[in-house]
Amino acid sequence: MAPERLPVLIVGDVHGDLERLFAALRPYPADQWHTVFVGDLVDYGMYGVGALRYARDRANTTVVIGNHEVAMLWALRDPARIGFWMSIGGQEHDLAELARDSNCSHGSVIHPRWCGCTTERWSSIAATTATHDGLIRPRATRSIPSSRARAIY
């Protein structure tokens, strides 16, 4: 089924906790749900890069970039920003892993699309607008039936 015809699953603030993420997604198979990650996949937890890669590679998924991804990409590009990033939960091992990943950066330009992130801080799918700040609003044109949308995490 095309992603736009699938029910929508909103997932936010994973913060590198893959074990909790996998448990939360177990009832929602990727082939039956369009999953929208609304940012903050990284920082605090041990597996921020793993969470990014999982979200990027999960079928029928959209990833909306959050402030933690922005801070991480800034720190990767500009070492002067590492202190700020770490002050909001950044993990040195995630930065080191990304720095070694040739698919993540090309010269001094970091590509949010590597992690599957849209460069927007919102996404509009199946008549639902999902933003990084946690607001989920049906578009004025039509509302989404509650049977076609879930928010977890």
pLDDT per residue as tens digits for the range 27-82: 999 999 999 888 899 999 999 988 988 988 899 988 888 888 889 888 888 899 99
Query: What does the pLDDT read at residue 27?
Result: 92
Range of the domain at 53: 3-152
Query: What does the pLDDT read at residue 85?
Result: 94
Total number of domains constituting the chain:
1
Look up the pTM and report it: 0.73
Assess contact for 95 and 77: CB atoms under 8 A.
no
Token pair 């080191």 in the structure block, residue: 96
pLDDT at 5 over 50: yes
What is the tens place of the pLDDT at every residue in 112-137? Answer: 555 555 545 444 554 455 556 544 44
Q: Where are the beta strands (DSSP E) in the chain?
A: 8-11, 34-37, 61-64, 105-106, 109-110, 117-118, 122-125, 128-131, 136-138, 149-152
